[in-house]
């Protein structure tokens, strides 16, 4: 009896599924994961707009901070992520790829930089051009850390992201740790607020930061020179970084260090979603999707200053003002998207 019941149920289920896929284009559904920083919002908005209007799918967006969104993505609840800071969550991400939970869909912004920054006014006044220039007690005093007397503060990456540990190692290698604390701001919003607050008050600020970001367009930060990126050196340093992440800061051993490599921000989709033949056109499009930094910065400026945080208006603005996106999609889809503008 039980077997029969199951059989009938599975037939019904299969029937429903078949029905669903025959009317596929109208009933398909894509769940996008989005994050709490602006460049991810922009990518999600553009991709979402094209999927919705070009492919006629229902698009749902869920926004959150890195860990919950990525956890839901690995779990199969969120189908596509359009901006993954892969290098920051490299362990988790590679594990999920190895387990077959997700597949990677290539790069979304070819070159994005990260590094140590100082505000322009202070940099000009004291001639701060490279990390070596920072290693003076009187310079450290400018960036005084009120919670660690005698030291300056470098607002660092969020602890738990790999860049925090990388910064920790770099501080030691460059000899910055004698003068500065590697201060964990706790969250992306807090890091932005710390930099923006310093600029509003006209105070010196020394911080880890990255582009493309909306804040970068508004404040004048100068990147400090570090030893040029070198692959062998980076690999050696990352080995130490992984050891520290596993065993704590005492596991530090002497290493070499170099500037951050231009990071690749990637895209990914769940294996479940990508393997469904109905979703193939969408996966093909997301694979093609790639926006140069200059375009991202333009969209970010529009997103933050002109649209008042309206994601859809930002997507429309980009799609109207540029033609680069027509290469990513078949002609008929492009037509539909244009019609929706």
Binding site for other proteins (CB under 8 A): 66-67, 70-71, 92, 146-147, 149, 155, 158-161, 183-187, 189-190, 193-194, 196-198, 200-201, 308
How far apart (Å, rounded) are the C-alpha atoms in residues 215 and 192? Answer: 7
In terms of phi and psi (left: phi > 0; alpha: psi -120 to 50; beta: otherwise), the region of 309 is: left
Shortest approach of other proteins to residue 64 CB, angstroms? 12
Residue 5 or 201 having the CB closest to other proteins: 201
Min dist CB 333 to other proteins, Å, is: 27
Q: Which is nearer to other proteins, 6 or 200 (CB)?
A: 200
Q: Return the exposure string of 233-270: e unless at least 16 CB atoms fall within 10 Å of the residue's CB, then b.
A: bbebbbebbebbbeeeeeebeebebbbbeebbbbbbbb
Cβ proximity to other proteins: between 90 and 261 the closer is 90
Residue with Cβ nearer other proteins (60 or 95): 95
Minimal distance in Å, beta carbon 199 to other proteins?
Answer: 10
Q: How far apart are CA 26 and CA 28, in angstroms?
A: 6
Pairing mode of beta strands 80-84, 29-35: parallel
Angle (nearest 5°) at CA 258 between 255 and 264 = 120
- The least distance separating other proteins from the CB of residue 218, rounded to whole angstroms, comes to 13
Of the pair 151, 281, the CB lying nearest other proteins is at 151
Identify which of residues 67 and 288 has a Cβ nearer to other proteins in the complex: 67
Burial tier of 169 (Cβ tally within 10 Å: 0-12, 13-18, 19+): buried
Q: How far is CA 204 from the centre of its chain?
A: 26
Tokens 């990255």 correspond to what residue? 210
Query: How many angstroms from the chain centroid is the CA of residue 287?
Result: 17
Strand-pair partners of 207? 117, 155
Instruction: Give whichever of 149 and 277 is closer to other proteins, judged by the CB atom.
Output: 149
Query: Helix count (H) and strand count (E) of the chain?
Result: 16, 10
Angle 341-37-155 from CA coordinates, rounded to 5°: 155
- String of DSSP letters for 109-142: EEEE-EEEEEEHHHHHHHT--BGGGG-SHHHHHH
CB of 96 to other proteins, least distance (A): 10
Closest distance to other proteins from the beta carbon of 192 (Å): 9
User: Minimum CB separation from other proteins for residue 203, in Å?
Assistant: 9
- Residue 50 C-beta: closest distance to other proteins, Å: 24
| Radius of gyration in angstroms for the set of CA atoms belonging to the chain, rounded to a whole number | 23
């Amino acid at each position: 009896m039980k077997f029969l019941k199951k059989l009938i149920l599975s037939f019904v289920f299969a029937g429903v599924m078949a029905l669903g896929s025959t009317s596929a284009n109208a009933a398909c559904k894509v769940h996008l994961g989005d994050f709490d920083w602006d460049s991810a919002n922009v990518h999600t908005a553009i991709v979402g707009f094209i999927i919705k209007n070009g492919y006629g799918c229902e698009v749902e967006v869920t926004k959150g901070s890195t860990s919950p969104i990525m956890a839901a993505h690995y779990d199969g609840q969120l189908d596509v992520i359009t901006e993954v800071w892969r290098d920051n969550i490299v362990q988790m991400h590679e594990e999920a790829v190895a387990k077959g939970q997700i597949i990677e869909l290539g790069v979304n912004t070819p070159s994005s930089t990260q590094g140590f920054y100082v505000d322009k006014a202070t940099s000009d006044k004291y001639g701060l051009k490279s990390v070596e220039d920072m290693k003076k007690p009187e310079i450290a005093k400018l960036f005084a850390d009120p919670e660690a007397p005698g030291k300056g503060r470098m607002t660092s990456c969020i602890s738990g992201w790999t860049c925090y540990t990388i910064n920790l190692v770099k501080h030691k290698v460059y000899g910055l740790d004698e003068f500065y604390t590697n201060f964990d701001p706790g969250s992306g919003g807090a890091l932005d607020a710390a930099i923006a607050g310093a600029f509003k008050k006209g105070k010196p600020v020394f911080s880890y930061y990255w582009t493309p970001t909306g804040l970068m367009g508004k404040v004048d930060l100068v990147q400090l020179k570090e030893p040029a990126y070198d692959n062998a050196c980076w690999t050696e340093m990352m080995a130490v970084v992984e050891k520290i992440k596993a065993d704590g800061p005492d596991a530090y051993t002497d290493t070499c260090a170099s500037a951050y490599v231009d990071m690749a921000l990637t895209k990914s989709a769940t294996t479940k979603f990508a393997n469904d033949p109905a979703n193939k056109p969408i996966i093909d499009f997301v694979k093609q999707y790639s926006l140069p930094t200059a375009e991202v910065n333009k969209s970010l400026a529009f997103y933050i200053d002109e649209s008042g945080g309206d994601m859809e208006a930002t997507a429309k603005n980009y799609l109207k003002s540029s033609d680069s996106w027509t290469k990513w999609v078949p002609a008929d889809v492009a037509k539909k998207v244009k019609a929706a503008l």
